[in-house]
Amino acid sequence: MQITRRTAIAAIAALGVTAAPAVAQQYPTKPITAIVPFAAGGPTDVVTRLVTEHMSRTLGQQIVVENIGGAGGSIGMSRAAAAAPDGYTIAVGNMGTQSAAPALYPNLKYDPATSFTQISVVNYTPQTIVSKKTLEPADLKAFLAHLKANSEKMNYGHAGVGSISYVSGLVFNSQFGFKPGLVAYKGTGPALNDLVGGQIDYMVDQSMNVIPQITAGTIKAYAVAHPERIAALPDVPTTKELGVDFIFSAWNAMVAPKGLPKDIQDKLLDALSKAMDDPTIIKRYEDLGSTAPKGADRGPAGLQKLVESEVARITPVLKAAAAK
């Protein structure tokens, strides 16, 4: 019901301003599709639904989320890259699709740095270093020492090649020279389940996924791989304050097909900005252990910089892992 009424109002509004010269001033005149390249219910999907619901209100048009899963998100992003740059198709990719994908999929049909009109980072989710609750080390330093001595007998769980926990694990393990058994799961849920059950030893995963288990004490948290403590885990120290050089954040980013008119890009960014500044959404982000981009990090330039630097950082690690 709601939809038809909104459409009707928008149609009437559109008729009223037919005299306006630029097309973009009328934008949007019909519902916008937001492609999420993952299954519904995952971290990217949840964040997208949170912000697009708010953006719909600002723009006066419904934003319909379309989940197109497959190949670590690269199928959905390929389709987004090929869509018409008219502002009616946008997409929200993540660190995997916008940085790791070129190294993982040689036949990738898009280049994260050049195939899109960047809009903005939507959120960052710092990674948290966690282990099964029975692991002896009491703090991060002891944990790293324990891994140094025993990593070959230990097991790292991840949510499948190309997933965030796979990439962050590779970076973590290669940086410190750990060589654990890599246990692959289909998705974060089963991996986390086996971490809680003590079948695997440790993970480096998005705080969003592990916060409930940490606060309930079913798994142990050693550190958040972030410069500042996160609101949802006030008692968990950061790698920075412990003097360990490992900073790693997952992120989601809103993009549109390449060639999007500047005024439409601005409209979308403005709506997204309003959403990210909304107190309810700030609160939701905090609960998820997530933060919104601020200052220069927000907007197309910040996103472009992030994509380029992440591709440069992740590609060699993934290539080295694939060569093994």
Partner 1 sequence: MAVEDPAGRSAGEDARSTFLNREVLAGLFLLVSAAVGYYAAFPLDAGSMSGVGSGLLPKAVAILLGAFGVYLVIVGLIGTHERVEGFSLRGTIFVLGAIMAFAATVRPLGLLVAGPLSMLLSSMADPDTRPMEIIVFTACMTVGCYLLFKVVLNLPIPVLPPVLGY
Partner 2 sequence: MWDLISNLQLGLSVAGSLKNAGLCFLGCLIGTLIGVLPGVGPIATIAMLLPLTFGLDPVGALIMLAGIYYGAQYGGSTTAILVNIPGEATAVVTVLDGHQMAKQGRAGIALGIAAIGSFIAGTIATVIIAAAAKPLTTLALLFGPADYFALMVLGLMFAVVLARGSVPKAIAMILFGILLSTVGTDIETGEDRLTFGWMEIADGIDFAVIAMGMFGFAEILRNLEHKEARAVVSDKIGRLLPNMADFKASIAPILRGTGIGSLLGFLPGNGAVLGPFASYSIEKKISKDPSRFGQGAIEGVAGPESANNAGAQTAFIPLLTLGIPPNAVMALMIGAMTIHGIVPGPQIITKQPELFWGMIASMWIGNLMLLIINLPLIGIWVKLLRVPYRLMFPAIIIFCCIGIYSINNSPTEVVLTAAFALFGYLLIKLGFEAAPLLLGFVLGRLMEEKLRQAMVISRGSLWTFLERPVSLTLLVFALIIVIVSALPAISKSRDKVFTE
Q: Interface residues with partner 2 (CB under 8 A)? A: 2, 39-42, 45-46, 49-50, 53, 62, 65-72, 74-75, 78, 104, 107, 155, 160-162, 181-187, 189-190, 192-194, 196-200, 211-213, 215-216, 218, 232, 283-284, 287-288, 322
Residue 30 contact, options partner 2, partner 1, none, Cβ 5-8 Å cut-off depending on partner type: partner 1
Residue 248 C-beta: closest distance to partner 2, Å? 20
- For partner 2, the closer of residues 96 and 293 by Cβ is 96
- For the segment 138-197, give every residue that binds partner 1 (CB under 8 A): 181
Q: Supply the minimum distance, in Å, between the C-beta of residue 94 and partner 1.
A: 20
- Residue 218 binding partner per list partner 1, partner 2, none, with a CB distance cut-off of 5 to 8 Å that depends on partner kind: partner 2
Residue (118 or 131) nearer to partner 2, CB = 131
Cis peptide upstream of residue 28 (ω within 30 degrees of 0):
yes
Would you say 320 and 174 are in contact if contact means Cβ atoms under 8 Å apart?
yes
287 vs 308, beta carbon nearer partner 2 = 287
Residues 66-125 within binding reach of partner 1 (CB under 8 A): 66
Residue 302 C-beta: closest distance to partner 1, Å: 30
- Cβ neighbour number for residue 295 with a 10 Å cutoff: 7
Q: Shortest approach of partner 2 to residue 218 CB, angstroms? A: 6
Nearer to partner 1, 54 or 79 (CB): 79
Interaction partner, residue 161 (partner 2, partner 1, none; CB < 5-8 Å by kind): partner 2
49's contact among partner 1, partner 2, none, with CB below 5 to 8 A by partner kind, is partner 2
Tell me whether residue 64 or residue 320 sits nearer to partner 1 (CB atom). Answer: 64
Q: SS in 3 state form for the chain?
A: CHHHHHHHHHHHHHHHCCCCCCHHHHCCCCCEEEEECCCCCCHHHHHHHHHHHHHHHHHCCCEEEEECCCHHHHHHHHHHHHCCCCCCEEEEEEHHHHHHHHHHCCCCCCCCCCCEEEEEEEEEEEEEEEEECCCCCCCHHHHHHHHHHHHHHCEEEECCCCCHHHHHHHHHHHHHCCCCEEEECCCHHHHHHHHHCCCCCEEEEEHHHHHHHHHHCCEEEEEECCCCCCCCCCCCCECCCCCCCCCCEEEEEEEEECCCCHHHHHHHHHHHHHHHHCHHHHHHHHHCCCECCCHHHCCHHHHHHHHHHHHHHHHHHHHHHHHC
Binding to partner 1 by residue 3, rule CB under 8 A? yes
Residue closer to partner 1, measured from CB, 113 or 182: 182
Nearest 10 degrees: CA dihedral of 32, 42, 269, 301?
Answer: -130
Q: Which listed option, partner 1, partner 2, none, makes contact with residue 231 (CB within 5 to 8 Å by class)?
A: none
**189: Cβ contacts below 8 Å, ≥ 6 apart:** none
CA distance 88 to 21: 19
- Judged by CB under 8 A, the residue of 6, 24, 30, 218 near partner 1 is 30
By beta-carbon proximity to partner 2, the closer residue of 49 and 146 is: 49
- Comparing CB distances to partner 2, the nearer of 102 and 299 is 102
Question: Between residue 41 and residue 70, which ones bind partner 1 under the rule CB under 8 A?
Answer: 64, 66
Residues that bind partner 1 (CB under 8 A): 3, 30, 33, 64, 66, 181
